Amino acid sequence: MELRKPEWLKINLPGGTQCQTVKSVLNLHHLHTVCDEARCPNKEECWSRKTATFMILGDTCTRNCAFCAVKHGSPLSPDPSEARGLAEAVALLELDYVVITCVTRDDLPDGGATHWAACIREVRRHNPHCRIEVLISDLQGNTDDLDRILDATPDVLGHNLETVPRLYPSARPQADYQRSLAILKHASLQNIITKSGIMAGLGERFEEVTKLMHDARENGVSIFTIGQYLQPGRRHLPVDTYIHPDTFLRYKELGLQLGFAHVESGPLVRSSYHAKEAFEHIIQKEIQ
């Protein structure tokens, strides 16, 4: 039987002209966002503030994670004009902080790293004062490909662990927990701010989340996010539990005790939610 959504998951929909501005810019440059593709519950709020998480390398993923709304199959070749369109969209929206993510491209020899680097460099060339956060795939664990992305100097590099290792076979069977930790550790050793996050409500236990958070810190993660999993469609994994806001508060407190520089924890939190604020919080702490 499908669980009934609790009151704390009700979403305000601001809408308005700013949302239309974002939609128009995306359509003009034929760009995708994870806001749309992953059916993010915060889309209207973020778009009303003229922010969006851009998704590069197309809209078709080569993997088939059981929690994800992004379509899967055989994707097209990367669009060579995408980097320029992305840079122009950032300029038109007058963004000073942008988050860029991608579909997983196991079909490409470098996992899309060369395209990633081109997008980062083009955004920075046209928007020199804009901070750039990237949310990458695991690149099948290839650190040479990861270095291609890091050489383009993003300000934050994120890679999500998504859920506890016990649930990987059912939630993300083509991924590997240790491989993801290795990607995060390699990036953190390059003196870059690293970020990761998970979904709650898939059947994980509190102590499993605690262990995962320990693992993330031990592998250099600075920013950690945790939000409620919401089933995007009938063919996806069902929600096991709706996590109470008090439990999310406990996760936040635990994360800060473990030494994360910033923790976003709440029912509607997603990996790019308040990304700019998290980055600025870390920079301010470093200044102090």
Do the domain assignments include residue 1? Answer: no
Across the range 183-206, mean pLDDT stands at: 97
Residues composing the chain: 288
Q: What is the pLDDT of residues 253-283, one digit of tens each?
A: 999 999 999 999 999 898 888 888 899 989 8
Do the domain assignments include residue 88? Answer: yes
Q: What is the widest separation between alpha-carbon atoms in the chain? A: 52
Evaluate if residue 284 carries a pLDDT over 60.
Answer: yes
Do the domain assignments include residue 104? Answer: yes
- Give me the DSSP letters along 138-158: -GGG-HHHHHHHHHT--SEEE
- Listed in order, strand segments (DSSP E) in the chain are 32-33, 53-56, 97-102, 131-135, 156-158, 193-200, 223-228, 262-265
**Which of 6-15, 20-29, 77-86 is least confident?**
20-29
At residue 38, the pLDDT reads: 46
CATH of the domain at 74: 3.20.20.70
At residue 28, the pLDDT reads: 64
Evaluate if residue 47 carries a pLDDT over 80.
Answer: no
What separation in angstroms does the CA of 10 have from each of 41, 198, 239? 9, 21, 16
User: In this structure, are residues 273 and 225 in contact, taking their beta carbons and an 8 Å threshold?
Assistant: yes
**CA–CA distance, 79 with 85 (Å, rounded to integer):** 10
Q: What is the pLDDT of residues 215-242, one digit of tens each?
A: 999 999 999 999 999 998 888 999 999 9
At residue 53, the pLDDT reads: 81
**CA–CA distance, 118 with 274 (Å, rounded to integer):** 25
Evaluate if residue 2 carries a pLDDT over 80.
Answer: no
Instruction: Quote the pTM value.
Output: 0.89
Do the domain assignments include residue 34? Answer: yes
| Structural domain range at position 126 | 11-287
**CA–CA distance, 68 with 231 (Å, rounded to integer):** 8
At residue 37, the pLDDT reads: 45
State the angle between helix axes of 113-126 and 143-151 in degrees (0 to 180), rounded to the nearest 10.
Answer: 10
Do the domain assignments include residue 5? Answer: no
What 3-state DSSP class applies to 132? strand
Do the domain assignments include residue 257? Answer: yes
Do the domain assignments include residue 3? Answer: no
Q: What is the tally of structural domains in the chain?
A: 1
Do the domain assignments include residue 2? Answer: no
Evaluate if residue 39 carries a pLDDT over 70.
Answer: no
At residue 217, the pLDDT reads: 98
Across the range 84-97, mean pLDDT stands at: 89
